[in-house]
Amino acid sequence: MNFQSLKYYSEQFSDSVLLTNTAGEHLFLSTEDFEMFSKNPAVLSDSIRSLLKSRFFLYDESNEKSFNHIYDIKYRTKHSYLENESLLLMVVPTISCNCSCVYCQVNSRKNNATENDMSLKTALSFCDFVFALPHKNIKIEFQGGEPSLRFDTIELIARRITHLNRRYHKFIEYVICTNLLNFSEHELKILKKYGIAISTSLDGSREVHNQNRPSVYYKSTYDTLLQNIELARKNKIFPSALVTTTALNLHRMREIIDTYIENHFESIFLRPLNNYGCAFKNQNVYYKLEDYIAAYKEAILYLIDRNLKDNINLREEMFSIILRKIFSPFNDGFVDMQNPCALGQMCMLVKQNGDIYPSDESRMISEMGNEHWKMGNVNNKNCLLTMKEKRSEILENGKLENYEECKDCVYSPFCDADPIKKWYIHNIAGEDYESYCGIRKELFQFVFEQIKTADEQKLNLFKRWANA
Ligand code: SF4
Ligand code: SF4
């Protein structure tokens, strides 16, 4: 029998070798078996050869046709976003904000000037734009500034879209990204009416949160936030939350996790700082990436321990997304981490003036005065055409296999191509090219190490997180 192997990647992991391939499969082999596999698969034991075949590392030449057919289905399932299945569509009702976070990445405005807000005309054009797009499943995310400061616009958009959708029958979901300071029963009633979920920020204990996220209008943003989380829960809305890591909370990961457990969250998203907006100007909030990754690993190990020993139920989102990439045959739905790049296809943002961008980061670049990534404007009837041109530029530069430092990386089947970040590093941040990978390699390595050494109980926990 003649055996062929699909293109694979490999890396030594202490006593074994990690193999990955473009079918999205992985396998740990002993160093000896790996030697045999790479030189002459015919001498491998039947059981190892079957394992390699089941994970698409090996096939019999006589079965090439069916192998290619199944491989094709697997690839298309993982990349369903390329067929306009789903879209995350962010919209900014206002760039004004009632908070002054030390790291604000969107340069929110502290005044109430009318140009900070989306006009009625633009809000209506946005609703038409939603139905001009080909996507079947659209998640509309209200972003800011602080979007709740223009709750009238949020209500208008939700009402109009619900009305128009009687004709189009798209699957539409809503979420509001809010600091949850400006909420009362009235706003919650509207959220409930349209099924709008809440995503908020909780950066740690009272002391840390108030320092990271101060406001001249609220004595303690932490206390107001927690009061409003309780109010939302009483109304059967269960906010999710994320942590932005700054120099202040970097070394307080256990305390942050304890705060989330005490406040009955089921997920936590630990997010490193992006070098945009205020964060770009306020370098005091920064830290070295290796310090972040060390803190992140400590946090995950602590979290795993608490889940297993104390029977709590809290997962970390980034760790879970990577697990999903590794274990699930389906697309993980995380727009920021796709290859080919999904920005502008699976993700778009419409700013308060109607300008369209492929991602939140490209809007942040625009707030820094550079319009390179603008795709069009919803008030312009030709916007679908101008968007197509920008999307082609993103796709052309958004394939990992064309990135010199990535093309042989063992993690590339699970990693993402981000031409916008590449462009930003080169043209604005002035960092060297090496910083493109950032924490990704260490992060993937850490997750695979955890999988490799997991016992059954831990593996069950990881599978639960991957499917959450
Ligand atoms: S991060 Fe959000 S809540 Fe904080 S200042 Fe910026 S827009 Fe406002
Ligand atoms: S970004 Fe880093 S981890 Fe991802 S494929 Fe490139 S080198 Fe590998």
Encode pLDDT of 131-141 as tens digits.
999 999 999 99
pLDDT band with cut points at 50, 70 and 90 for residue 333: confident
d(C-alpha 281, C-alpha 105), whole Å: 10
Of 55, 78, 101, which residue sits at a domain end? Answer: 78
Mutational pocket test of ligand 2: of 339, 400, 401, 411, the residue with most ligand atoms within 8 Å of the beta carbon:
411
Mutational pocket test of ligand 1: of 92, 98, 116, 146, the residue with most ligand atoms within 8 Å of the beta carbon:
146
**Could you tell me the pTM of the whole model?**
0.94
Of 337, 367, 397, which residue sits at a domain end? Answer: 367
The neighbour count for residue 297, using CB atoms within 10 Å, is: 16
d(C-alpha 413, C-alpha 400), whole Å: 9
Expressed in angstroms, the distance from the first to the final Cα of the chain is 42
pLDDT average, residue stretch 421-430: 85
d(C-alpha 222, C-alpha 209), whole Å: 6
Identify whether 189 is part of a domain: yes
* 28 in the same domain as 119: no
Per-residue confidence (pLDDT) for residue 432, from 0 to 100: 66
* 22 in the same domain as 95: no
Q: Give kind and range of the element (H or E) at residue 241.
A: strand 240-244
d(C-alpha 32, C-alpha 12), whole Å: 12
User: Taking all residues of the chain, what is their mean pLDDT, rounded to a whole number?
Assistant: 93
* 273 in the same domain as 220: yes
CA distances (Å), 193 to each of 93, 159, 162, 320, in order? 19, 10, 11, 30
Q: Specify the number of domains making up the chain.
A: 2
pLDDT, one tens digit per residue, over 381-408 is 999 999 999 999 999 999 999 998 898 9
Identify whether 325 is part of a domain: yes
Query: How far is ligand 1, taken at its centre, from the CA of residue 452, in Å?
Result: 39
* 279 in the same domain as 221: yes
Q: What angle do CA 322, 327, 329 make, to 5 degrees?
A: 110
* 94 in the same domain as 55: no
pLDDT average, residue stretch 338-342: 94
Return the residue whose CA atom lies nearest to atom 2 of ligand 2. Answer: 437
Identify whether 202 is part of a domain: yes
Per-residue confidence (pLDDT) for residue 278, from 0 to 100: 61
Q: What is the DSSP letter of 436?
A: G
Per-residue confidence (pLDDT) for residue 349, from 0 to 100: 98
d(C-alpha 402, C-alpha 420), whole Å: 15
Per-residue confidence (pLDDT) for residue 325, from 0 to 100: 95
Per-residue confidence (pLDDT) for residue 82, from 0 to 100: 81
Q: Give kind and range of the element (H or E) at residue 38.
A: helix 31-39
Position 303 pLDDT exceeds 90? yes
Position 285 pLDDT exceeds 80? yes
Identify whether 44 is part of a domain: yes
Identify whether 183 is part of a domain: yes
* 65 in the same domain as 97: no
Identify whether 110 is part of a domain: yes
**Range(s) of the domain holding residue 252:** 83-367
Nearest to 391 by CA among 170, 81, 95: 81
pLDDT average, residue stretch 151-161: 98
pLDDT average, residue stretch 403-430: 90
Position 277 pLDDT exceeds 70? no
Return the residue whose CA atom lies nearest to atom 4 of ligand 2. Answer: 415
pLDDT band with cut points at 50, 70 and 90 for residue 434: low
Of 56, 78, 100, which residue sits at a domain end? Answer: 78
